[in-house]
Structure 1
């Protein structure tokens, strides 16, 4: 019996979710093409489409995403997707230009590689934003600082990130010269799923090609005008690496708005603030103006950098705003549903 789906983490997914379904009735979404999908199955890669119910009544979040496990009805080299199996997590960001809608990047992920360039792309504040989102999704983070071969301040910047995030693996690499490739491979475990996220042109496609030992994604040269790599990847796609682990490549993201389920994920992303906060007088201290706040005391004594604190406050405020907007949207949805029900009752009474 062909065991393709086992290679893509089906057994791990079953252990995480307690789901038991015939292997030949399920598949994993490799990539999404608007309303059709490439699906990894025991019959090979099939083209899939949604049932009418999923297509017309399900929200964008409820429809299949890259990394999802789905129930299918195969026929020839195609299939119909009848159900999206329960996800054990999902990585999402706030949609650009919208208040509360979220964009799911991928689902059922064990670890994430945040890729930043040590050149002009180096941005500790954006890194904190991505780490906060990974904490919220319960995804183990790894930080890859790329372009060590051309960055003048490589060692200084690497040390800064290691000091700010002492509990997270931070690797200095060069995708061009393959420096650090073996270290990345040592972090990858068979049948577990990983994702790479970062801005356009930081080298994600080159890293993927190195790990695949083959050019599976196109790469472009560095722009002489701005010193940055050009955008190449345009979608999210799932790949099987030689060591048996699964890696999802993503398009570049210059903006990464927070769409958190738990606001406290912000605090967990700032190790210094998290540890200092345990000594505050009040257990629900906001670290803004409360008496006995050990975080504010640390700033006054120069033990905590103000830039780190301001970044924390900014992300906390953004997360609280998103949570409030989401609750307001849910309340309005309930009010509308109640109004519709009342109108139906009123019309029934008028008829009799």
Structure 2
């Protein structure tokens, strides 16, 4: 097993050369590896020597205590091997090119990283009673903010007699985003997903509990890698089948990450994802009479005119307003926390490259 199978390439080698060399000045041997499993206090990592259990070095753990931005599945890390290669100590993390995150559950003001260095994010929704366009709009914001490319998967197509109408509805809600209806039971739609799972590409699955993520992992891999459970009768909701984050190699050479289902997606921040997820509203807003139009009661509002003329669904505008206010409130709390933490000097966090993919996508919209 070589790390090239998990996505290591010349780009990552360049980051390694610029980051890890400083840690070897004292003669301490370091090797690259990727986190393939996140089990809370322990990590599973892959290196050229094989798999090993990993944990944070004490110094790294101390520097990350305040930020809470710990390494995540998909991260490329700087390792020191111990016990003949059976255990690994994580001394650093290479700069990420994408970060999928959300606000941590509860009242805490903290970011929870779902996965890192993902190329394509499969946003999964089942074609049953749990199908929800407004929820998908929120997942799209998370996806666009991450730097990964979103793709919508409508699973359990065999249960839906009007799948074509659902596809069209989702395409209207997600302009420019590929939408695929698939059925693992019937084996339909797998060929459409091949471009996303080719060799060296990392894809992750996210969605609500019971939407079929673990079934998708098993189907795409051709093996029973993940446990699955039946959904509840009556509301089509499922229980958490996946309780940790884990990475698998697919037959085509792609890498897939399964993540626990989400009861509720709380957005962490907005780096342009809102404008991309609601690109049609952003385009209409450019024609509003006032540059600071709130699209609520202003005269000359092109967005309200589109709603009145049947060109824009009112429910979509209402969800846009609600999410915009939520993100502004979240950002104000985040800024207060950052100002409070600014007084603490010498703290570091996992390096993160500010991506610009959403800017390019918005220009192309």
* TM-score bin (small chain): 0.7 to 0.9
**C-alpha deviation, 1:181, in angstroms:** 1.4
- CA displacement, residues 275-316 of structure 1 (integer Å, 9 cap, x when unaligned): 212222344444334443211221222221110000000111
1:211 aligns with 2:209: no
**Distance in 2 between residues matched to 1:15 and 1:295, nearest whole Å:** 47
Give the match's secondary structure for 2:203. Answer: strand
Partner of 1:56: 62
Deviations 1:68-88 (A, max 9, x none): 111011121111111112212
Distance in 2 between residues matched to 1:99 and 1:313, nearest whole Å = 24
Structure 2: unaligned runs, 5 residues or longer: 22-28, 346-365
**Cα distance in 1 for residues equivalent to 2:275 and 2:14:** 26
Q: Kindly indicate whether residue 257 of structure 2 is the aligned counterpart of residue 248 of structure 1.
A: yes
In structure 2, the partner of 1:69 is 76
Partners of 1:176 and 1:206 within 8 A in 2: no
Equivalent residue number for residue 8 of structure 1: 6
Higher RCO (C-alpha 8 Å, min separation 6): 2
Local SS of the residue matching 2:159: coil
Aligned to 2:360: none
Q: Distance in 1 between matches of 2:59 and 2:126?
A: 44
Q: 2:51 matched to 1:45?
A: yes
Tell me if the contact between 2:140 and 2:273 (Cα under 8 Å) persists in the aligned partners. Answer: no
1:311 is matched with: 319
* Partner in structure 1 of residue 289 of structure 2: 281
Structure 1 position 232, deviation (Å): 1.2
Assess if the C-alpha contact under 8 Å between 2:16 and 2:94 holds in 1: no
Shift of 1:317: 0.6
**The 10-residue stretch of structure 1 (166-175 or 295-304) with the greater mean CA deviation from structure 2:** 295-304
| Residues 205-244 of structure 1 mapped to structure 2, 5 A cutoff | 205-224=214-233, 226-244=235-253
Post-superposition offset of 1:171: 0.7
Separation in 2, partners of 1:224, 1:105: 29
Flag the 1:19–1:100 CA change in 2: closer, same or farther, 3 A. farther
Query: Secondary structure at 1:10's aligned position in 2?
Result: coil
Q: 5+ unaligned residues in a row in structure 1: which ranges?
A: 339-352
Query: 1:331 aligned to 2:339?
Result: yes
- Give 3-state SS (helix, strand or coil) of 1:149's partner: helix
Please give the secondary structure, in 1, of the residue aligned with 2:257: strand
Which whole-Å deviations, capped at 9, do the CAs of 1:137-184 have from their partners, x for residues lacking one?
121110011111112443322221122223111111112222111212
Q: Which residue of 2 aligns with 1:349?
A: none
Alpha carbons of 1:16 and 1:322: their partners in 2 closer, same or farther (altered >3 Å)?
Answer: farther
In structure 2, the CA distance between the partners of 1:287 and 1:331, relative to structure 1 (3 Å rule), is same
Shift of 1:228: 4.1
The answer to whether the Cα contact below 8 Å between 2:69 and 2:113 also exists between their aligned partners in 1 is no
Contact 1:241/1:247 (<8 A) preserved: yes
For residues 309 and 235 of structure 2, what CA distance do their matches in structure 1 show? 40
Report the secondary structure of 2:158's partner residue. Answer: coil
Q: Deviations over 1:97-124 (max 9, x none)?
A: 2253111101111110011011011011
Deviation per residue, 1:174-210 (Å, 9 max, x gap): 1222211121223323212110001111111111111
Determine the structure 1 residue equivalent to 2:362. Answer: none
Question: Take 1:225 and 1:301, find their aligned partners in 2: how far apart are those partners?
Answer: 37
Q: How far is the alpha carbon of 1:17 from its aligned partner?
A: 4.7
Q: Determine the C-alpha separation between the residues in 2 that align with 1:18 and 1:279.
A: 47
TM-score by length of 1: 0.88
Report how many residues are paired: 334
* Matched residue SS, 2:195: helix
Larger Rg: 1
Contact kept in structure 2, 1:63 and 1:84, CA below 8 Å:
no
Question: What is aligned with 1:155?
Answer: 164
Q: Does the CA contact (< 8 Å) of 2:118 and 2:203 recur in 1?
A: yes
Q: CA RMSD in A?
A: 2.3
Task: Choose 115-124 or 179-188, whichever is displaced more.
Answer: 179-188
The structure-2 alpha-carbon separation of the partners of 1:145 and 1:12, relative to structure 1 and needing over 3 Å to count, comes to farther
